[in-house]
Amino acid sequence: MEISIEERTSLSARSSPFMRALGPWLKPKIVVGGVFVMLLCVMGIFAPLISPYDPNAQDLLKTLQPPGWWGGEHFLGTDHVGRDILSRIFFGARISLVIAVTVVVISGVVGVALGAVSGYFAGYVDFGIQKFVEVVWAFPPLLLAIAIVAFFGQGLGILIIALVVQRWIPYCRVARGQALSLRTRDFVDAARSLGASHHRIIWFHILPNLLQAALVIGTFAMASAIISEASLSFLGLGVPPKIPTWGAMLADGRTYISTSWWLAFFPGVCIFFTVLGINLLGDGMRDIFDPRLKRSGGGTG
């Protein structure tokens, strides 16, 4: 049954608002980045269900077996103590996901809150917070994280704190700049003239306008947190050795890189594509949420 021209026009008119809203999210880099991030989430969340073996189960009779692919017992091979590489990659994705999300959420809450307070009150409050930011920012991020983990010991909580120590600063600086502009806007003056308290103005009028920028920063910060966690685990300063991580797998495979390439290759590939996907997704979100980038004609890929 053919559809008349009037019906086609009516259907197009009804679907156009949805397509206009969905269109910016269908850019190639957002779709590709979203697929990689979705794979990370699936591997991390469902690791206990999809892993063929216990990630810490050792079998010294099957050490350094090459990838068996579909016809072998171990799809991606085994490591130097007979542990299944594929299972450890799945559980390593869970650790990367937990650390990335936790670090981004804590850093975002702390940074946006301090930035909003700094920009809204300005004056001495702004001066004090920004001087504190400059003091913390003066330390090299990775060296500061190494010092914290070395002093307090290994542990997932300690590692998260070590990664959060400096990662709230980008949120704070961006939120502070936007809050300085928002505090003089008409809707803030109107709320203030109606007797709204500072707390209410910050909570209901300043913070909602900072969320889009914080979301974009958080996307890039996830990639940075994953790389930092892998770096610390590679140095032996990440989570305890019994917890499988991609960085620790790289460290284990370093000794056997010339004879057993799969030990370091597969976790390295996972880190590469995960960080690439998160950066692509963040770049696409920045194109959508940053109006200045739209006006300049950038980010059209």
Task: Tell me the mean pLDDT in the region 137-161.
Answer: 89
Confidence band for 300, pLDDT divided at 50, 70 and 90:
very low
What is the model's pLDDT at position 91? 94
What is the fold of 26-55+62-295?
A: MetI-like fold (1.10.3720)
- pTM value is 0.84
Confidence band for 56, pLDDT divided at 50, 70 and 90:
very high
Cβ-defined contacts of 131-137 (< 8 Å, 24+): 133/169, 133/172, 133/173, 136/165, 136/166, 136/169, 137/166, 137/169
pLDDT tens sequence across 248-263: 999 989 889 888 999 9
